[in-house]
Chains A and B, each alone.
Chain A
Amino acid sequence: MKKFALLAVFLIAQPLLADSNLPPAYWAYRQLPDAKQEAKAQSLMVELRCLVCQGQSIADSDAELAGDMRDLVRRRIAAGEKPSAIRAWLIQRYGTWISYKPTGEPAAWPLWLAPPGLLLFGAWLIRRRIRLKARN
């Protein structure tokens, strides 16, 4: 009996009001009928960061804002807009943060230079070692 009472309590529990009053946008969970356009939209959506679940792409996220962003991307692709233009539109509003694809901004240059820099440093170390050994 106690168990049933507990179960009943869980069943009537309501989730916290965090969802909006409207159903998901039309293109949030629907693919575009044109497979080529849908592929374009998909490859852009996996490269755009969700503003709510920051770490997921909008293709992965179930946040309502991510759904609205997918709707926006699909509508614009269907209207013939280029993915790069849509990305630029979002970057203009939210900064490079919104795009997973690196934009080559100066702040990221050390990150790009680090791998070849470390390789060169390693090569220099090895060369030194070989020379030291040869001298001995």
Chain B
Amino acid sequence: MSRGLRLIPIILFVWLVAGLAWRLIKPADPAIPSQLVERQVPTFDLAPAVRGKPGLSSADLATGEPRLLNIFASWCVPCVGEAPVLAELDAKGVKIDAIVVRDTPEAIAAFLREHGDPYERLGDDPRSNAQMNIGSSGVPETFLIDGRGVIRRQYIGPLTAANIPGLMEQLGQAR
């Protein structure tokens, strides 16, 4: 057998070790992005999640101006951390709606009292169906939707203050 051919197993071995080392140093991102980004929001119609605020349907998301759709729940700890960021966006005039996953009206009302209520509409999603419909795999997540009801971006995990400039820029572009 020629010399070059003999080197093949060694090269394969080094390649394998390098691959394993790379994934150990830089683990794969476990977040599952929605495939609906750059697509129309799928059709849904949700009952109000709290008393005194309207529910949410997909038609409410195509109003001619960009909006944020926040997926959250009162039992979700990172959602508490995200609340001040949403409050600041609300103060800047950003329109925010929500899908509330697996929650009760009392718990949601208590959450909004304690952490602020930046939402125009809150849709109740007791079996995570609307969440699945939009391709979201957890709470919190935020979708940026343009005036025609097309999803332009998905933010997986809690928004932080560092997201605000980028979000404002994206919202400005998503007319």
Contact = CB atoms under 8 A, between A and B. Distances in A.
Given A25-B127, A71-B127, A92 B35 contact: yes
A68 B73 CA distance: 15
B155 interface: no
B133 interface: yes
Nearest to B42: A93
Contacts of A52: 137-138
A68 B129 contact: yes
A94 interface: yes
B73 A20 contact: yes
A64 B101 CA distance: 11
A98 B131 CA distance: 15
Contacts of A16: 77
Given A65-B138, A94-B34, A17 B75 contact: yes
B17 interface: no
B40 interface: no
Contacts, number: 69
Nearest to A93: B135
B135 A94 contact: yes
A16 B75 CA distance: 10
Interface residues of B, number: 26
B134 interface: yes
B75 A21 contact: yes
Interface stretch (B60-68, B88-96, B102-110): B102-110
A51 B75 contact: no
Contact of A69 (B34, B103, B132): B132
Contacts of A97: 32
B57 interface: no
Contacts of B34: 93-94
A65 B137 contact: yes
A78 interface: no
A17 B127 contact: no
A65 to B, nearest CB: 6
B129 A72 contact: yes
Interface in B68-89: 73-75, 77
B35 A68 contact: no
Contacts of A34: none
A19 interface: yes
B30 interface: yes
B138 A68 contact: no
13 contacts: A16-B77, A21-B104, A22-B102, A22-B103, A51-B138, A52-B138, A54-B32, A64-B102, A68-B128, A69-B128, A93-B35, A93-B134, A97-B32
Interface of B: 30, 32-36, 73-75, 77, 101-104, 107, 126-129, 131-135, 137-138
